[in-house]
Chain A
Amino acid sequence: MPRSVPTEDTAPRGEPGDYEEIAVPNKLLTKIGPGHGANQAAIDRADQIVERMKGVYEARLQTELENLLAEYEEMRASKNFNLDDLHDKVHEIRGEAGTFGYDLVSDIGKLLCEMLAPIGEVRPNDDRAIHTHIKAMHTVVAQKVTGAGPEVAKQIVRGLTTIVDQSKA
């Protein structure tokens, strides 16, 4: 999966006049029978499952972020930045964190992925910015800040958003 945006959109396009619409029998509905709408009891059950898994997840997330921080420190020291690997790890972390209530980790991780996507060579400012993002995610988890967090957390996300925008300039 490339980090950067492709130069052109190569997605297939239909031509005018070659369009055929097909009504598909609803096999799912046939199989599950009558019903309608959301099943709140089932959603609550699934939420409870997530809640039960949260303790184990938090311990793992803490370890993953400690490892990520250590790996990035090694990259800095060796000046050998493996941004593809870093991007993939952050992407995985942010994809899971919000499910367990760590919305800030998801938001900060998303910003970091956005920042990493176009970077070719890591400039000194990029280096500091990447490090600050990872440190921010690590701090959020160490302090167990869930949800949107306090006002200072919102300021941190806004600050990181500005940094990412500046990095692209």
Chain B
Amino acid sequence: MAYNLEYLQVQLIEDNRNMRALVKAMLNALGMKDVRDYANGKQALDAIQDFTPDLIITDWMMSPVDGLEYTRFIRGDVDSPDIFTPVILMTGHTEKWRIITARDAGVNELLAKPISAKTLYDRILAVIEKPRPFVRTKSFFGPCRRRVNWKEYMGPERRFRADQQAGLMDFDGDQMDDGIDDVERLLESL
């Protein structure tokens, strides 16, 4: 039996208007009818006392308040309505240092862009079915950082490198200029 997500209260925060409309439409289609959307963390902050979310889905790069700053507010501010609220961070940044930064801000799940209906639903399922215990140390409060394979979010970069290591490259020159010439020739035949 599928979950009934109809009554979940969701805050969706994304500064790209088109992306925000797209994700909201996807969430509605997945069964969530109570999705409030905001263009940045400041707007979400201003609204949170009137709309307590069960789930927060947020982009990272926004101003004046970005997704990580908003997550830190949820996790640690006296005005936070629920410090345990699950936070799913949407990001196109998959470099290791950025993932560690997001993890240490207290996000529950990372959703790598580009997203799909399946990856979006998978992350929502993860916070429903596999919630991690919270951890408090002198310098951290948030979901346990040791129970997720955060490296899985770095897949695409590894794929490019793997292709090269497999000897699939077939270009004439070692010089960057030659490589650019080759790519431009290939573009003409695409």
Contact = CB atoms under 8 A, between A and B. Distances in A.
Contacts of A132: 180, 183-184, 187
Contacts of B134: 21-22, 24
Nearest to A24: B84
Given A38-B122, A45-B29, A95-B19, A24 B133 contact: yes
A111 B159 CA distance: 12
A158 B169 contact: yes
B36 interface: no
Given A15-B138, A159-B186, A29 B133 contact: no
Interface residues of A, number: 84
Contacts of A99: 22, 113-116
A28 B60 contact: no
B16 A158 contact: no
A152 B144 CA distance: 44
Interface string B98-140: 0011011000000001111110111001011101011111111
Contacts of A129: 176, 180
A20 to B, nearest CB: 5
Contacts, number: 228
Q: Interface on chain A toward B: helix, strand, loop, or mixed SS?
A: helix
A44 B26 CA distance: 10
B100 A11 contact: yes
Contact of B187 (A35, A96, A135, A158): A135
Contacts of B163: 158, 161
Contact of A47 (B60, B117, B160, B190): B117
Given A48-B29, A145-B190, 5 more contacts: A9-B100, A28-B127, A49-B26, A98-B114, A135-B187
Interface of A: 1, 5-6, 9, 11-15, 18-24, 26-29, 31-39, 41-50, 53, 57, 60, 88, 91-92, 94-99, 103, 106-107, 110-111, 113-114, 125, 128-129, 132, 135-136, 139-140, 143, 145, 149-150, 152-153, 155-163, 165-167
Interface of B: 1-5, 7-8, 16, 18-19, 22, 25-26, 28-31, 54-55, 60-61, 66, 82, 84, 86, 92, 95, 97, 100-101, 103-104, 113-118, 120-122, 125, 127-129, 131, 133-140, 144, 156-157, 160-161, 163-164, 168-171, 174-177, 179-180, 182-184, 186-187, 189-190
